[in-house]
Amino acid sequence: MSQSTIESFAALASLVPHEIITHSLVEDVRLPGGRTMALLTLDNGFDHTKPTTLGPNTLLELHAALSAQKQRAAAGEIQALGLTGKPHYLVAGADLNGVKSLASPENGAAMATLGHAAYDLLADLGVPTFAFINGVALGGGLEIALACTYRTVSTGATGIGLPEAFIGLVPGWGGVYRLPRLTGPEAAMTVMIENPLNNNRSLDGAAAFKLGIADALFEPADFLEQSLLWADGVLTGATTVQRPNAVEPNGNPDIAARWAAAAAKARAFVEAKTSNAAPAPAKVLEVFEAGATITQKESAALEIAALTELMQTHAFHNTVYAFLDLVQKRSKRPAGAPDAKLARPVTKVGVVGAGLMAGQLALLFAKNLKVPVVITDIDAARVTSGLAHIHGEVDKQLAKGRISSDAANRTKALVTGSVSKDAFADADFVIEAVFEELAVKKQVFAEVEAVVSPECILATNTSSLSVTEMGRDLAHPERLVGFHFFNPVAQMPLLEIVRAEATGEVALATAFAVGKALRKTSVLVADEAAFVVNRILLRLMGEVAKAFDDGTDAKVADTALRPLGLPMSPFTLLAMVGIPVAHHVSESLHAAFGERFHVSGNQEVLISHGIKSLWAPAADGGEEIPSSTLKLLSFGNTPSTGAELLRRTQDALAQEIGLMLAEGVVAGPEDIDLCMVMGAGWPMHLGGITPYLDQVGASERVNGAKFHRDRG
């Protein structure tokens, strides 16, 4: 690297003065075979709560350290270089806080180029290089390992992957080119496309080894020692490295066909997940497909160009807001949460009900709190069936290798059943999961309050009913709190914690402490009908349902919102939620808020005839409304175009959110966004719902101002 280039990168680094630098700490290690390895440890000086990241200052220091080792290698002073990280981390990827501040295309290109300059040294140091993946290796953290000659990974490592398509970028430091050559193109598309778009999944050490990302797998207790011994064996020739999944295109037609098929499958997956509304996945595929026939240097140029382009988009900045400001920051410091010191310890949990939702709750509490959980229902048959279902779910997780045999047995043992609520006498936290009817829930809490201790917290999993009314007749309504999960409970991260009129600080603090222990993203919401997510989704679905009832073609109505890139279309979501459930909530919202929430007459007809979905498979492989269903429905004569319905829905959402903020349902628009991202799968590239409404002009059209005045 020339002096002028170094100076230009130094100028780039000066734009991020507050970067937490991940230092490159080098020490020489004498291997058993007599060779010297320079061991470079990436460490930011913090404990495991502060991940190591890669910003321009970090990359400059890494480049300088590797340049020095390259000179030593040429002089014969070292025969290998090893790369590892501080405990629990190799490196967690690029410093997005720093990257988002690099506003100009020139700075974006410089950042991308700097990463390649450092990583190219690893790939061509003059001696073999080894990455010892001891923990999290995401994005640039995995790419730095891919640039090495060999890799080991710990069985204790988690968080391994290339999440850039999720973040709004491409793996821009060689990952798109190097990964498929190690794992094969099919697995590479799983890591670069499917996992990121499936709620940002990642790999653990065993999975990374199985795919061929790493050459050896060791236990965490002596991971570094075993990795050094293994590296010594490779250097002496005693250990032969085999890579059965590795491929090199080189004009091979069979491999070219696999490459093309993997890309086609991934493209269909992107279409299904995002309706092609997000630009980053398409760019990943573009660079991946080109990588089959070009050199690594040529691929690097494409990666730099793609990163430069994507870093300027709304989608990237929206994702940084959603991921960093919301998921990583606001979710960890919930607005309005009481002092955690007020929380009461929870050593036993009661669940009223033994149905599917109750079973999900009982299993979640037992697995994460590791305390006794007792479920109750009105007869022994229901309780027995509920326990059998819970045990079956545990057995499924055991069969998939997600829990050990010991953990499965412990979890089963923690969950018991009873037909008497007397079993709750020593419970600290009791949650109901019974029929969504106010009178039923009031009766349940009256019975529970009669047997539990004065300190026991009572919680309701209601999705739309008034928590205040639910506790109106309780002797101690201050102990009642809303605790609204989303289905499926184990997978959906959001928990709406509802403060009723009488809810006390102790109950709220305990609810937040339990939510944290359950590993949920907890948001404090006021006791208004349907709270946040269901209120917004039902307003959206109501606009589509009204357009359909008014005569809009079904496919037009169901596809009008495709530019949003939602996880599923409105009619598909309706079928998944259940038409009776959605209709019931719509009626509740209509009663609370009036004509803004449409109650569909056609949905009433579908319910009365036991029809569970508008769509059915068509002969051409698509979907259609069966003629038998159409004959039952009635329509108006004021159809809408897709563009009209999209704009009307945008305006309706802007209106509803404006009203929610005025009512104090949440502390601010950031909480609305966090709820929609974590509870409704609102696309990250839209940055949550309020930035999207700002950017399409709906906020100003309806409310006269943006929700975020300091954002574009």
Q: How far are the Cα atoms of 169, 545, 558, 569, 595 from residue 603, in angstroms, in the given order?
A: 41, 9, 15, 16, 17
* CATH of residue 140: 3.90.226.10
Which of 21-25, 622-626, 667-671, 689-693 is predicted with the least confidence, judged by mean pLDDT? Answer: 622-626
Query: 492 and 455, same structural domain?
Result: yes
Q: Report if residue 332 sits inside a domain.
A: no
C-alpha torsion angle, residues 284, 286, 291, 293 (rounded to 10) = 170
Those residues whose C-beta lies under 8 Å from the C-beta of residue 105, and which sit 6 or more positions away, are 308, 309, 311, 312
Q: Is the pLDDT of residue 365 over 90?
A: yes
Q: pTM value? A: 0.87
Query: 568 and 503, same structural domain?
Result: no
SS3 of residue 448 by DSSP: helix
Q: Report if residue 701 sits inside a domain.
A: no
SS3 of residue 24 by DSSP: strand
In angstroms and rounded to an integer, the radius of gyration of the C-alpha atoms of the chain is 28
Tokens 């050459």, located at residue = 215
* CATH of residue 521: 3.40.50.720
Distance in angstroms (rounded) separating the CA atoms of residues 472 and 474: 6
Q: Report if residue 702 sits inside a domain.
A: no
Of the candidates 566, 506, 503, 499, the residue with the CA atom closest to the CA atom of residue 536:
566
Q: Would you place residue 259 in the very low, low, confident or very high pLDDT band (cuts 50, 70, 90)?
A: very high
Query: 493 and 545, same structural domain?
Result: no
Q: Report if residue 689 sits inside a domain.
A: no
Residue 178: strand pairing partners: none
Query: 353 and 475, same structural domain?
Result: yes
pLDDT in tens, 66-103: 999 999 999 999 999 999 999 999 999 998 888 777 77
Distance in angstroms (rounded) separating the CA atoms of residues 495 and 525: 10
Mean pLDDT of the 456-476 span: 96
**Is 271:278 a contact under the CB 8 Å cutoff?**
no
Mean pLDDT of the 109-125 span: 94
pLDDT of residue 43: 97
C-beta neighbour count of 593 within 10 angstroms? 17
Distance in angstroms (rounded) separating the CA atoms of residues 206 and 564: 36
What's the structural domain count of the chain?
A: 3
Q: Please confirm whether the linkage preceding 488 is cis (ω < 30° from 0).
A: yes
Q: Is the pLDDT of residue 2 over 90?
A: no
Provide, rounded to the nearest whole percent, the portion of the chain with pLDDT above 70.
Answer: 99
Q: Report if residue 709 sits inside a domain.
A: no
What number of residues does the chain have? 712
Those residues whose C-beta lies under 8 Å from the C-beta of residue 40, and which sit 6 or more positions away, are 24, 25, 26, 65, 66, 69, 81, 82, 83, 84
Residue of higher predicted confidence among 84 and 563? 84
Distance in angstroms (rounded) separating the CA atoms of residues 34 and 656: 71
Which of 393-402, 530-539, 592-601 is predicted with the least confidence, judged by mean pLDDT? Answer: 393-402
pLDDT of residue 108: 86
652: exposed, middle or buried (Cβ count in 10 Å: 0-12, 13-18, 19+)? buried
Residue of higher predicted confidence among 491 and 470? 470
DSSP class of residue 333 equals S
Average pLDDT, the chain: 94
Q: Which range marks the domain in which residue 420 is found?
A: 340-526
Of the candidates 579, 586, 584, 627, the residue with the CA atom closest to the CA atom of residue 603:
579
Q: Report if residue 691 sits inside a domain.
A: no
**Is 672:661 a contact under the CB 8 Å cutoff?**
yes
Query: 381 and 407, same structural domain?
Result: yes
Distance in angstroms (rounded) separating the CA atoms of residues 463 and 587: 13
Distance in angstroms (rounded) separating the CA atoms of residues 518 and 521: 9
pLDDT in tens, 146-183: 999 999 999 999 999 999 999 999 999 999 999 999 99
**Is 358:433 a contact under the CB 8 Å cutoff?**
yes
Mean pLDDT of the 641-664 span: 98
Query: 49 and 85, same structural domain?
Result: yes
Query: 517 and 554, same structural domain?
Result: no
Residue at a domain's end among 471, 493, 526? 526
pLDDT in tens, 10-54: 888 888 888 999 999 999 999 999 999 999 999 999 887 799 999
Q: Report if residue 576 sits inside a domain.
A: yes
pLDDT of residue 392: 96
Rounded to the nearest 10 degrees, the angle between the axes of helix 296-310 and helix 175-183 is 130
Q: Which amino acid is at 156?
A: G
The tokens describing 200, both together, are 């940002």
Q: Is the pLDDT of residue 1 over 70?
A: no
Of the candidates 525, 421, 529, the residue with the CA atom closest to the CA atom of residue 469:
529
Q: Exposure pattern of 132-156 as b/e (b: 16+ CB <10 Å)?
A: bbbbbbbbbbbbbbbbbbbbbbbeb
Of the candidates 344, 341, 381, 385, the residue with the CA atom closest to the CA atom of residue 362:
385
Q: In what order do the strands lie in the sheet with 160-161?
A: 89-91, 136-138, 160-161
Query: 276 and 369, same structural domain?
Result: no
SS3 of residue 272 by DSSP: helix
The tokens describing 188, both together, are 């590479």
Query: 548 and 456, same structural domain?
Result: no
Residue 270 φ/ψ region, left for φ over 0, alpha for ψ in the -120 to 50 degree band, beta for the rest: alpha
Residue at a domain's end among 291, 326, 361? 326
Residue at a domain's end among 270, 291, 326? 326
Q: Report if residue 671 sits inside a domain.
A: no
Query: 222 and 176, same structural domain?
Result: yes
C-beta neighbour count of 591 within 10 angstroms? 11
Query: 489 and 624, same structural domain?
Result: no
* CATH of residue 584: 1.10.1040.50
305: exposed, middle or buried (Cβ count in 10 Å: 0-12, 13-18, 19+)? middle
Distance in angstroms (rounded) separating the CA atoms of residues 666 and 655: 15
Those residues whose C-beta lies under 8 Å from the C-beta of residue 313, and which sit 6 or more positions away, are 168, 279
Distance in angstroms (rounded) separating the CA atoms of residues 579 and 703: 32
Mean pLDDT of the 293-321 span: 93
Query: 272 and 197, same structural domain?
Result: yes
pLDDT of residue 566: 85
Q: Would you place residue 527 in the very low, low, confident or very high pLDDT band (cuts 50, 70, 90)?
A: very high
Q: Is the pLDDT of residue 6 over 70?
A: no
Q: Is the pLDDT of residue 290 over 90?
A: yes
pLDDT in tens, 412-429: 999 999 999 999 999 999
Q: Exposure pattern of 394-419 as b/e (b: 16+ CB <10 Å)?
A: beebbeeeebeeeebeebbebbebbb
